[in-house]
Structure 1
Amino acid sequence: MSTATDRPKVSLRQFWADLPTPGRWLLSTVAVQTLGRGLTLPFTVIYINEVRGIGLGTAGTLLALIAIVALVVTGPGGSLTDRIGARRMLLAGTTAQLVGCVVLAFATNVPMFVVGFVLLGFNFGVSWPAFNALIASVVSGPLRQQYFGVNFALVNLGIGLGGVVGGLFVDVDDPRTFTLIFLADALSMLVPIGLLLGPLRHVHGRAERPEGTATVGYLDILRRPAVLWLTFITFLCTFIGYGQIESGFPAFSRQVGEVSTQVIGLAFAVNTLIIVAMQFTVLKLVTGRRRSRVLLVMVGFWIASWIILSLAGLGPGALVATVAVVVFMGVFGFGEIFMQIAIPAITNDMADDHLRGRANAVNAGAFQGGAILGPIVSGLLLEHDLSGIFITTMIAGLALMAGAIFALERRLTPLENGVTQG
């Protein structure tokens, strides 16, 4: 374990100065290109259910379709990332996202939503391993962990600002407002496309397999016990966390807490404020410390957040429900910081350069698996008024995750666990 004196110094100015030019380009446009996603993320399940009249159970299944498609294409996407480069895969995925958002803007029935979500799922499946591989190809060493943390803060800044604007703009009695936010989401995809075709056109994000090394497939990667435990933890993080933020959380807030869409938009704004304000402070605190222990801190905050959200049921439509919904997202967001610093860094420090696409694809597959199950479970439980079981399931999953984190810690090298050798 490192001491305060031998841990690397972290400052925003030094971080920016150390970044290579491609890394600066990637960071400088993150918030803009995620603004469109923020416009639609908090309100997609409301759009399907309250605006288009599709049941919550079906809505949850439709949202899970994104992750199902992503899971199917993640494996081939990771392999193609290693073979033809991350930039080309990002271009393909982002274009699919643009078209998918246009389809969703005018969707009025289940088949149209299926088409739109299939295209979104394709993007998420190929873009995650490609984007992380692209970052890892231009940023290395301790700077990589810092990059993932700062990138996460900027992603949330864009999503949070979008959520605020969306919450003020959308009206469940006027479908046109939802059409406009999905069209804005589509337009925001022009930013990364322009970046990849312009300033980053020479950054391919591909590493050649060293001569004399054996060909490695997904099964070889998954044979490492540390990879298996990290994959399981990532699955639980999504099932309990991100798989619920787009479906279970807004549905619970509307159905049990009876809060308005404006309150949900405000909650996402608070989530963003916490992440952006605290990201670099947390980075300073955790740099050089065990990433496994960082993940345990996340578990503690997430348990507290779900307990807080359950209080919304004590006063539906009243101030207590509003406070519970907003505070939930704040506490949850603080926990997110720890997760997004640790998991991508562990994943990429365990991977060889020529396997980075596939290593990130394994992690992305676990994420998609949780995103498949999460909306289905929350949709079915909340549709049958089982809100208490819904909250209990989330907390039980977090207890299971804590045990898995201890198992992972025993299988990581000091370098993989982010421990500075002093």
Structure 2
Amino acid sequence: MAKRDDPEIIGRRVQRLRRERGLTQRQLAEPSYTPAYVSTLEAGRVRPSDEALHHLAGRLGVAFDELATGRPAHLASGLRLRLTEAQRVLTDGEAEQAALQYAELLAEAVTHGLVDEQATALLGLGECRLDTGDLTAAREHFEHAENTLATASLPARVPARRGRAVAHYLAGELRYAVYLLESTLDEINLAGLHDPDALLLLHTALISPYMDMGAQARAAQAAELALALAPQAGDPALIARMHRSVARTLLAEGRIAEADASLAKAAEMYHQLKIRTELANCRWMRGYVYAQKGELSRAEEELRAALAMLDSRRATLYSSQVAVELADVLHRRGASEEASKLLRGVLGGLSPERGAVHSAAAHRLLGIIAEDAHDTEAAEQHYLRALGLLERAGAAGDLADLCRLLGDLLRRTGRVEAALDAYRTGLGHRTAGTTTLGPAPAQPLL
């Protein structure tokens, strides 16, 4: 229940409404209370009970909340409808427009002390900033939302916690993102707070950082738990996101047909929900599936479509990932010059603090292109830059692969000892992906 105003404020409100309606204190009080009680209440010398406020509200013809808090009738429900509209604008890919709407709604919610609506607006602002790539602002909005809900249950705070983790993940802080998500899972499961939507949100969010850290067994387990939770969850957009994330673990296991089926489910749900940005992400992943199957023409078609959808909506970090995938396909199709131009554009929009893993992927592919062109010096420089970015991010899985590429290059140029060092480093990173994460989070009661 929302916090009431002080007795003095309520008293003045009752007096004003009574006079506007032409009622005496006796007419307002009867039959349940005395004129003296109403006089004392209007003077602010007594804190009215719920029963007294309900009686007075009924006599004055106003809602209980309006009498207790001064908020206009249906204010909260009206704000919630407008928050839903802002969410629709965001899902259509118009992040900047949605941010303006959320900011206006946040100000109104603060003015009227509507805590849940404040948190919803802050979550929306955080998602807008994730889409536009402003990770610092996104993290601040999510932290503010979590603080606003400080007295709420832990499951109610999970969307804000998940938002913080995604912001850290996209900034290249993989280990901290995993810590936030795993520790929240432990708190929920150990307390017996079985909330399917909250658990599904957390397990789904863990898949990508697990994969980037080389912890494929953990990623597969998170995907398995997410699939088990999906029938109990009530948010179709969340279920669709789960199918898209699970597809990544299936691809890593070589289960391409199952991954394709999972993406088809996600795409169908996003189409029904009209979530444009996520539809673009599904086309991106389907392009990746086609590339894995060697169907490069279809892969290019899907990836170009995804990139056009994301670019038109300024989804910077997501479009960078798609651009790297498209560049890989273009290089494999013999269009290395176009691929290089695309990758340099990616690097121009990123930094070590913003999209480190994506920057590393661009440098890795530029290194491969340079090596194929027999420019070993440029290839080595790109590999080393990628290595530094991935080490900072803790992306052990990608580090192991990169060390192998660097080792092969060094070996071919006659630097055998340096190549052996690179291979040993890669083996160390591959092991680190599964041995430095600590115990797995407690299991939910499914």
TM-score by length of 2: 0.22
User: More relative contact order in 1 or in 2 (CA 8 Å, sep 6+)?
Assistant: 1
TM-score by length of 1: 0.23
Greater gyration radius = 2
